[in-house]
């Protein structure tokens, strides 16, 4: 077994932002651009972050939009170039993080966005170009429990074709996160629910992938256990900063652990349907996840057992462990709301095109086991 963990620094709590200046100084950063969404401008928490950055801050790009459209990425890149930025601090959730990451890749590479993205070969395999230029460092002050801050990929939306494009560059990973309670309190509960659903889906797919990596499995089981404990607490008290911060850490475990396993079909459906609609990816994953859990390889019994254990489900025999785990996940997801694709505006006539498009998602080529077109069609009808 080989398990390589990229360097990553994590600061949590009311004093977390006090470490920003030291981190920027440690890496010699003098010209920081803050990246955030327009909604973040209305929160005092943004001023708190910018005060912590201090004189190193030379600009702010606050035009982030949902699903990180290509035109927004290009404008963010221009803002970094105009400010002669040597670093980025992202304040916000997944779209802000991905926009900043993609912008730093575009800034460093002498290529257009299309040329930088993963593409599908005629034989169906996916290939990512080698992006060799150094990238300016990034730090994240997260507002949601997104797995995005732990990743090296950037999924963006081509506004001209309505396609989901992916850039992959390990050098664009964030240096670390500063989990501040005031910033986590800026996110609407619905957005947190979507982010948690994504983190849960990612952790469960990793546990059910059959990959023999005890470190990753421990991270993923820890993520499921933390979500199972802190998500219901957040539902009871949406303004609980402790629950919000703990869910951010659960997302970190999910994001880091899933780097060493396989993705799941629920994530593929989120990637495929989310950008084509007004619905967040995580909301689609919450709809698909219980049904998607059956698409696991034959050696996934440990994963089902780990999921059931993490969610406090009773021990079951080998033959019924999958059902026990699935029922526990379904129960956890029930308060999140919508239960079927039709509830989020997906028509039955849309299902065939969804099944066609999902084969272009990198996660589909990296599933733990092959899923046939008939199985995809059956799953879509089941959750529609």
How far apart CA 124 and CA 230 sit, in angstroms, is 40
Residue 294 lies in a domain: yes
Q: Which token pair is 176?
A: 């670390």
Question: Residues 106, 109, 114, 118: what is their CA dihedral angle, to the nearest 10 degrees?
Answer: -100
Give me the CATH number covering residue 379.
1.20.1090.10
Residue 55 lies in a domain: yes
With bands split at pLDDT 50, 70 and 90, how would you rate the model's confidence at 351? Answer: very high
Whether residue 235 is found in the same domain as residue 178: no
Q: What is the mean pLDDT of the chain?
A: 92
Whether residue 216 is found in the same domain as residue 167: no
Stretch 359-363: mean pLDDT: 81
Domain boundary among the residues 148, 183, 218 is at 183
Stretch 166-172: mean pLDDT: 92
Residues 224 and 203 sit within 8 Å (Cβ to Cβ) = yes
Residues 67 and 275 sit within 8 Å (Cβ to Cβ) = yes
Whether residue 136 is found in the same domain as residue 27: yes
Residues 104 and 138 sit within 8 Å (Cβ to Cβ) = yes
Sign of torsion over alpha carbons 340, 341, 347, 348: negative
pTM equals 0.93
The DSSP secondary-structure symbol of 263 reads B
How far apart CA 161 and CA 221 sit, in angstroms, is 38
Residues 271-282 have pLDDT tens digits of 888 766 677 888
* Residue numbers of the domain that contains 370: 188-383
Angle value at C-alpha 250, between 142 and 332, nearest 5 degrees: 115
- Do you know the residue count of the chain? 384
Residue 363 lies in a domain: yes
Whether residue 27 is found in the same domain as residue 174: yes
Residues 80 and 103 sit within 8 Å (Cβ to Cβ) = yes
Domain boundary among the residues 183, 201, 226 is at 183
Whether residue 229 is found in the same domain as residue 153: no
How far apart CA 177 and CA 229 sit, in angstroms, is 22
Residues 308-344 have pLDDT tens digits of 999 999 876 656 789 999 999 999 998 866 688 988 8
Give me the CATH number covering residue 142.
3.40.50.1970
Residues 341 and 379 sit within 8 Å (Cβ to Cβ) = no
Whether residue 275 is found in the same domain as residue 126: no
CA-based radius of gyration for the chain: 20
Is residue 61 helix, strand or coil?
strand
pLDDT (0 to 100) of residue 119: 80
Residue 4 lies in a domain: no
Whether residue 196 is found in the same domain as residue 121: no
Q: Which residue has the tokens 């957040």?
A: 234
Residue 142 lies in a domain: yes
Q: Which range (14-28, 200-214, 271-285) has the least confidence?
A: 271-285
Residues 214-242 have pLDDT tens digits of 999 999 999 999 999 999 999 999 999 99
Query: Which class for 3: exposed (0-12), middle (13-18), buried (19 or more C-beta within 10 A)?
Result: exposed
Residue 291 lies in a domain: yes
């Amino acid at each position: 077994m080989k398990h390589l963990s990229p360097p990553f620094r994590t600061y949590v709590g009311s004093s977390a932002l006090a470490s920003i200046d030291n981190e920027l100084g440690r890496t010699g950063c003098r010209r920081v651009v803050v990246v955030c969404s327009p909604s973040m401008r209305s929160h005092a928490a943004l001023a708190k972050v910018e005060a912590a950055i201090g004189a190193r801050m030379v600009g702010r790009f606050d035009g982030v939009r949902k699903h990180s459209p290509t035109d927004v990425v290009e404008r963010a890149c221009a803002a970094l170039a105009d400010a002669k930025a040597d670093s980025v601090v992202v304040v916000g959730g997944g779209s802000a993080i991905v926009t900043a990451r993609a912008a730093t890749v575009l800034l460093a590479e002498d290529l257009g966005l299309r040329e930088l993205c993963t593409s599908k070969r005629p034989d169906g395999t996916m290939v990512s170009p080698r992006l060799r230029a150094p990238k300016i460092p990034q730090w994240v002050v997260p507002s949601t429990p997104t797995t995005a801050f732990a990743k090296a990929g950037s999924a963006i939306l081509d506004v001209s074709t309505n396609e989901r494009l992916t850039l992959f560059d390990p050098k664009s990973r964030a240096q670390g996160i500063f989990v501040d309670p005031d910033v986590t309190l800026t996110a609407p509960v619905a957005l947190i629910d979507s982010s948690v659903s994504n983190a849960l889906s990612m952790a469960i797919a990793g546990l059910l992938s059959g990959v023999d990596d005890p470190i990753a499995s421990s991270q993923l089981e820890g993520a499921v256990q933390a979500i199972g404990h802190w998500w219901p607490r957040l539902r009871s008290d949406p303004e609980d900063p402790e629950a919000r911060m703990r869910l951010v850490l659960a997302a970190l475990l999910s994001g880091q652990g899933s780097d060493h396993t396989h993705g799941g079909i629920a994530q593929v459906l989120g990637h495929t349907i989310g950008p084509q609609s007004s619905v967040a990816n995580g909301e689609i994953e919450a709809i698909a996840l219980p049904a998607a859990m059956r698409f696991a390889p034959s050696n996934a019994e440990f994963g089902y057992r780990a999921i059931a254990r993490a969610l406090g489900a009773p021990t079951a025999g080998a033959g019924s462990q999958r059902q026990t785990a699935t029922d526990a996940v379904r129960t956890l997801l029930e308060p999140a709301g919508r239960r079927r694709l039709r509830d989020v505006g997906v028509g039955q006539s849309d299902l065939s095109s969804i099944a066609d498009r999902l084969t272009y998602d990198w996660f589909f080529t990296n599933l733990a086991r092959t899923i046939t077109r008939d199985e995809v069609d059956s799953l879509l009808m089941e959750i529609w």
